[in-house]
Structure 1
């Protein structure tokens, strides 16, 4: 077992809580020690949401360890049933409950006898899946629960809606720009003459899940959440689903053409080519911008990309295919989705990295010295240490990446937001050097440690003073080249002589 102080994807119970708290009037009870209920703080702080249902913790303490948990867990479920009158109570296991080997399924059956609410155990293996996988499993489980419940009661609707309609699957709390993307996707569907049947789980009622089968197709914008529910609905009702993420001009058009194909196969007569052309030329400024002199100045610049499968793959394609930027390597922390990711980005970058080790990613960034990074909050921190700008494109993120303003990544408006993010993430021309010349740029101190934990090189005063004279926009590269030269030759301290020798070695 390895102790980690940074995880790209959280533990499984966070994924279950994200899904359950996204639904209306669904209450989650988490069986865990006190202190594991940080989800409430995270949700209220990042989402700035006043009206979500807090998660209740059924605490594991010394009394529970001595006597067992059943009585306490059942009491908490029945109490919340009376107090909150939720439609569904989700009992959320944790690593602690798994270690104790408690029969939570039995607890749920016992509590269900005395509750008016539905009670469900989130059936996820906390040692085998992470936050993203658990969220996908939990959403499918809830959809299946209410589909089968409606079927038993004879309440499942028959047939499709009169007009073409869609379910949007996978919009949830704490998702990267999910709410903005949802608004943009709804607008896109309206423009295409498609009604939105249901959006799940965010803002949805479990009572409406029986209506999912009425839609003509399902749209799953993110691979991390919604695919399992879409596959279940396809298996049960023959509903086609689309998992093409509409990010960037090319992929948005490809997604719309796939929608056109699916609708026409079901008897509609639609042609969206004129719409795609109109949106590409006049709504999406990204297409125009890619041909402008500003964007052409970025052609050939080196970038690296890292994030979840959906956003890292989409950004890699946009950078390489639509903006002419050289993606040196692209990576994801979704190890379970490695084959799909490699297939998607293989032709658009020089190297593919699949890892959950932030140290490996930091070293990979330092090794290739890109002009810009596109990654998560962790890569933003790495970029600050290396003086390389970073655009955040995927969770985990900082609160500043939950903007109050409208910033979708999906659809044609999303293409504009992404183009701005890309352009503004590069240090342009001589701006850094000019800021130093005319003042106002705090560059007095130089970070002399590398990204790797085993970097033990120091700089003496004379060498550090000399390094400070190097223009800011190339200083990071000079520092790293010098440290590599010194490390290869066994120097522990960098002096002026070492700096000059390193300079001669690279022919500078």
Structure 2
């Protein structure tokens, strides 16, 4: 079995807990051993929220294993029902506790008899699903449960155009800021927001979902199954175009225009699109400015979840003139869709969740900038390549206090800044050369993967440290490549000079 010491998408129970804790007055109980109960710490640290419903751990220990865990789980559910009075309690095992193969549906049935709250078992296969797919499944399960409760009494469509925003959740990449920007954009279009789910939504709000004219699904990873379900039971169309970048935001608005026109409301948003593109979004102007012309022909790699990696690839290639050497995603289950989105926009497509492979491919490509996750940011640091973080997995740096949406016209400005500032350009190149690089630490001589590690002697290490920082990693890789091809296991000054001569430098 392969030991995973870095995962781009967490285990399935994290996805379920993200959905449960996004809702108001929904309590999650995790049936798990000690060690799996880190969600509360992770959420309170990253989201900086003081008021959220914590997850309760029903701990599996040796005593529980000895006598069975049914009584403990049922007791914990009933106790939380009495203490917190939630509308819904969601029970989820983890990968570890799933090994026990317990009949948790029976536990839930027993607890439901003694609880005022609704009790659901998350219908997730913890061996086959990851955080993203489990979140999608749990979200649909909860929505389906409450819509079916009132299926014979669905609310009528609102008098004025309105929309639901589906897929905003806790621990999402810039989700709260994106939601604010989407709400503002819809308001500018004369469309009210009916319900935002699951973040900040109660289970009672779920029953109001059918009142909207249509649904907005900004992220590929969360919300589409719910939109498809609502389309089948409430005949609601949905827009699943991610409004990221000038081009896609315009397409997003035009898709809404088609829905409203079909619903009997004649609107024409072309003037709005033109005004927003020219005066609100600075990205269109900036991409044609002399500053952005410095990016023409620059080489970049893009990697992340499907939504953000595809959108950033499109923006770099179509809007900013950057050459994308390769674009990749860790969402292997959605690889076919990703390939269709970036086809013709990059030289190569990589669908993999192996961080070692991704690191090696970045090292081989030697791009001028990386756009990826926090893992690629750390890879970039080791390779002296700048990286802009554009996707989860993320940490505290990606929950900014200031307003930084990635969606809508304000999002285009944020992305333009991120892209431009992620490259080393013009005067910065000159200053790095003048001052011998911006780092004063002793150079790291280990390569990205263990199978390419070579020993550098003291003289060669000192010589490498004298090379300007912005080209040092390239010199290091070329020297090691020459050494391996020459059958050397140690790099000396002689090897460095020979490698330089071989390269014609």
Structure 1 residue aligned with 2:56: 56
Q: Please tell me whether the aligned partners of residues 430 and 473 of structure 1 are also in contact (alpha carbons under 8 angstroms).
A: no
Structure 1 residue aligned with 2:490: 493
1:437 deviates by: 3.7
Tell me the alpha carbon deviations over residues 324-381 of structure 1, each in whole angstroms, 9 at most, x when there is no partner. Answer: 0000000000000000000000210000001110000000000010000000000000
1:433 deviates by: 5.2
In the alignment, does 2:416 pair up with 1:419?
yes
Structure 2 residue aligned with 1:96: 96
Structure 1 residue aligned with 2:154: 156
Tell me the alpha carbon deviations over residues 137-194 of structure 1, each in whole angstroms, 9 at most, x when there is no partner. Answer: 000000001001122xx5421x311111100000000000000000000000000000
Structure 2 residue aligned with 1:445: 442
Structure 2 residue aligned with 1:330: 327
Partner secondary structure for residue 196 of structure 1: strand
1:443 deviates by: 3.2
1:439 deviates by: 7.8
Tell me the alpha carbon deviations over residues 415-473 of structure 1, each in whole angstroms, 9 at most, x when there is no partner. Answer: 00000000000111252552564489333411211111212212122222222222221
Q: Please tell me whether the aligned partners of residues 173 and 202 of structure 1 are also in contact (alpha carbons under 8 angstroms).
A: yes
Q: Please tell me whether the aligned partners of residues 371 and 389 of structure 2 are also in contact (alpha carbons under 8 angstroms).
A: yes
Structure 1 residue aligned with 2:112: 112
303, 318, 322: which is aligned to 2:300?
303
Distance 1:203 1:435, change over 3 A: same
In the alignment, does 2:205 pair up with 1:208?
yes
175, 189, 192: which is aligned to 1:192?
189
Q: Aligned runs of 1:260-271 on 2, under 5 Å? A: 260-271=257-268
Structure 2 residue aligned with 1:9: 9
TM-score (norm 2): 0.98
- Distance in 1 (CA, whole Å) between partners of 2:91 and 2:132 is 18
Tell me the alpha carbon deviations over residues 217-268 of structure 1, each in whole angstroms, 9 at most, x when there is no partner. Answer: 1100001000111111111122111111000000000111111111111111
Q: Please tell me whether the aligned partners of residues 313 and 341 of structure 1 are also in contact (alpha carbons under 8 angstroms).
A: yes
In the alignment, does 2:205 pair up with 1:240?
no
401, 405, 409: which is aligned to 1:404?
401
- Distance in 1 (CA, whole Å) between partners of 2:504 and 2:323 is 25
Q: Please tell me whether the aligned partners of residues 444 and 468 of structure 1 are also in contact (alpha carbons under 8 angstroms).
A: no
Structure 2 residue aligned with 1:172: 169
Q: Aligned runs of 1:247-266 on 2, under 5 Å? A: 247-266=244-263
- Distance in 2 (CA, whole Å) between partners of 1:387 and 1:76 is 51
Unaligned segments of structure 2, at least 5 residues? none
348, 352, 355: which is aligned to 2:349?
352
Q: Please tell me whether the aligned partners of residues 220 and 241 of structure 1 are also in contact (alpha carbons under 8 angstroms).
A: yes
- Distance in 1 (CA, whole Å) between partners of 2:41 and 2:68 is 28
- Distance in 2 (CA, whole Å) between partners of 1:304 and 1:27 is 41
- Distance in 2 (CA, whole Å) between partners of 1:438 and 1:485 is 28
207, 211, 215: which is aligned to 1:218?
215
- Distance in 1 (CA, whole Å) between partners of 2:443 and 2:106 is 60
274, 282, 285: which is aligned to 2:282?
285
- Distance in 2 (CA, whole Å) between partners of 1:333 and 1:430 is 35
Structure 1 residue aligned with 2:86: 86
Structure 2 residue aligned with 1:383: 380
Tell me the alpha carbon deviations over residues 91-148 of structure 1, each in whole angstroms, 9 at most, x when there is no partner. Answer: 0121133210101111111110111101011000001110000000000000001001
Partner secondary structure for residue 136 of structure 2: helix
- Distance in 1 (CA, whole Å) between partners of 2:486 and 2:153 is 76
Paired residues in the alignment total 505
Partner secondary structure for residue 451 of structure 2: coil
Structure 1 residue aligned with 2:36: 36
Partner secondary structure for residue 454 of structure 1: helix
- 128-137 or 426-435, which deviates more: 426-435
- Distance in 2 (CA, whole Å) between partners of 1:203 and 1:432 is 46
TM-score (norm 1): 0.98
- Distance in 1 (CA, whole Å) between partners of 2:283 and 2:455 is 45
Partner secondary structure for residue 343 of structure 2: helix
- Distance in 1 (CA, whole Å) between partners of 2:425 and 2:82 is 60
Partner secondary structure for residue 258 of structure 2: helix
In the alignment, does 2:52 pair up with 1:47?
no
- Distance in 2 (CA, whole Å) between partners of 1:439 and 1:421 is 25
Structure 2 residue aligned with 1:25: 25
